[in-house]
Amino acid sequence: MEHIFMSQSEVNCKICSKEPATIVCKGCRKVLCKDCTEQHKHEGPKNELIALRSKTNQCGSGEIEPLRKRTLLVSQKKHELTINICGIVFLSDGRIVVVDNKNYQLLVFNDKGDDFPIKLRHEPRGITKMTDNKIAVSFFYVYEIHIFNVGKKTSNTINVISFENLDVGKLKPYYICYSNNHFAVEAGEGDEGCIVIIHEDGTFKKSIRVENRLAHFSGNTIRMEFEMEDINTGKIFICAMSRKVVICCDMNGKVLWTEALPDPRGIIAIPGKTKSGKNLIVASKTCSAVFRLDGKTADVLLAKGDIRNPRYIAYHADKQLLCIQVTKDPENNPGDHQLLFYRYKDVINETKSNTIEQSTQVNT
């Protein structure tokens, strides 16, 4: 078996830091050189070692088209403090919203790159799109989720959900995602950490426990995506950064599959059918790559070139637009971020497919 590792520079052994890595241990996910592999031991299952192949060229798929004219620069020069992005989402009208937790603000960009800020009273931690131009933002210090409606140049708060009196106790809300009128929220830390399912009207539905060995709850090491049919049917996809793994579990916390991936960050699920058969897209910061997953294998979608330290991803299903947050110049200007836009062509157009199928049936 072979593991493809994406990096902008040579990948060295995680133990000696001198020799090039040639092996990855599937148990602890460390990359090792030949000499250190022979001495490598760790707690847990017996070592399963996989050959490591490093790729340093720009990789891309025929199903994706860069939209370079729409590339946006999010510069720290315009703002009081260095920008720290903690999420991006598309609005239904195609605008993109960036959450900056250092300057307590949302930045709303149109397709021309013009932006207007929405000032926040508290430090934000997570953001998710809802329907139309509604978004939800979590504020962990005050145990609240705020639902906003974003207008052309203004916004208004239409609901506030408190986490202080939940049935599972007083838990801080961190990362947040949305599906079918419900939120899945990373809540609490350590042994108390769990995923809380809550209706958009604030009604608590259930809490889901995930084994600590798979996902460490700290408020800053988990990213999620959520597909729910009803309260007992659906899937939650978790990027566990500290565990270097992507996890899929059901609505009761049962693990359906795991996929080892170095430093998984942003994650989105593509709705509908895809040509590749893979509906999950995950960014890996240390790999400087974006992957597609299906629970069985992971393919490289984008790597190198402009893909520098990708973190958050957003997707607009109707427009088939993919947005990836990267660092413009990691060494000299780490506070400057770029938003790269792509036309994602892997989606199968059901209407078009049905029309072709019906036409074929008539002709036959």
User: Mean pLDDT lowest for which of 61-65, 105-109, 192-196, 307-311?
Assistant: 61-65
Shared-domain flag, residues 204 and 287: yes
Confirm whether 297 is domain-assigned.
yes
Mean pLDDT of 158-173: 89
CA dihedral 186, 249, 42, 292 (to 10 degrees): -90
pLDDT, residue 169, reads: 81
pTM: 0.80
Q: How far apart are the first and last CA of the chain?
A: 46
State whether 50 and 102 are in the same domain: no
Identify the residue whose tokens are 């170095």. 262
| Same-domain status, 293 and 195 | yes
Task: Compute the C-alpha angle 182/269/328, nearest 5°.
Answer: 115
Is residue 357 one of the residues assigned to a domain? Answer: no
Look at residue 29 in the predicted model and tell me its pLDDT.
67
The residue among 140, 155, 131 whose CA lies nearest residue 185 is 140
Number of domains the chain contains: 2
Kindly state whether residues 16 and 120 are assigned to the same domain: no
List pLDDT tens digits, range 240-288: 998 899 999 999 999 999 999 999 999 999 999 999 889 999 999 988 8
191 contacts: CB under 8 Å, gap ≥ 6: 212
Same domain? For 35 and 78 the reply is no
* Residue 104 sits in the same domain as residue 19: no
Residue 360 is classified by DSSP as H
Residue among 195, 191, 199 nearest 209 (CA):
195
Let me know whether 250 and 318 are in one domain.
Answer: yes
Per the CB < 8 A criterion, the answer to whether 118 and 133 are in contact is no
Q: Are residues 50 and 107 in the same domain?
A: no
Distance in angstroms (rounded) separating the CA atoms of residues 233 and 213: 24
Range(s) of the domain holding residue 22: 2-55
CATH of the domain at 22: 3.30.160
More confident residue, 194 or 53: 194
**Most distant CA atoms of the chain, gap in Å:** 67
- Residue 188 and residue 336 in one domain: yes
Task: Name the least confident of 20-24, 183-187, 331-335, 355-359.
Answer: 355-359
Coil, helix or strand at residue 77: helix
State mean pLDDT over 23-45: 70
Q: Is residue 91 part of a domain?
A: yes
Average pLDDT value for residue range 87-110: 95
Q: What is the mean pLDDT of residues 43-62?
A: 48
Q: What is the pLDDT of residue 11?
A: 65
- Look up the CATH number of the domain holding residue 297: 2.120.10.30
Residue 176 lies in a domain: yes
Q: Specify the residue for token string 């990855």.
A: 24
Residues 29 and 130 in one domain: no
CA distances from 91 to 113, 145, 179, 217, 313 (A): 15, 18, 15, 29, 14
Separation of CA 119 from chain center: 24
Per the prediction, the chain carries an average pLDDT of 84
Over the stretch 323-364, which tens digit does the pLDDT of each residue have? 999 987 767 776 789 999 999 999 987 654 443 333 334 343
Question: Both 18 and 69 in a single domain?
Answer: no
Taking the C-alpha atoms of residue 344 and residue 280, their distance in angstroms, rounded to an integer, is 13
Query: Domain boundary residue among 55, 75, 99?
Result: 55
DSSP sequence for 69-85: GG-EEE-GGGSSS---E
Indicate whether 363 belongs to any domain: no
Nearest to 144 by CA among 191, 176, 102, 178: 176
223 assigned to some structural domain? yes
The verdict on 235 and 177 lying in the same domain is yes
